[in-house]
Amino acid sequence: MYKAFDPILNEEELAQWLDISRPTLQRQRSDGGGPPFVQLSARRIGYRKSAVEQWLEARTIKRDGALAEQTPSETVPTRGVAS
């Protein structure tokens, strides 16, 4: 559940906070691998701070390679690759 006061970060603020580029955020949003976002209008998106914190917590690992060992339901499907 979201906090009573839950700031909405714009793309630039989130990119700065995570120290990644805006194109990386856009790519993650497109492939479903990034933090959940809110469609604020037809051309504007935002990120709830609490949702980003939960996304980061889910990606926190305790040993090398653990993120790559996710179950198939936790991974993002690869487009254009036949299995």
User: pLDDT tens for residues 1-48?
Assistant: 556 789 999 999 999 999 999 999 999 999 999 999 999 999 999 999
| Run of H or E including 8 | strand 8-9
What is the distance of C-alpha 23 from the center of its chain?
13
At a CB cut-off of 8 Å and minimum separation 6, what does 18 contact? 25, 52
Q: Give the range of the structural domain holding residue 17, as residue numbers without chain letter.
A: 8-59
Q: Does some domain include residue 55?
A: yes
Per DSSP (E only), the strands in 10-80 are 38-41, 44-48
pLDDT at 23: 96
Q: How many domains does the chain have?
A: 1
What's at 68, amino acid-wise? A
Distance CA 54, CA 56 (A): 5
Q: Does some domain include residue 80?
A: no
Q: Does some domain include residue 26?
A: yes
The pTM score is 0.69
Q: Does some domain include residue 2?
A: no
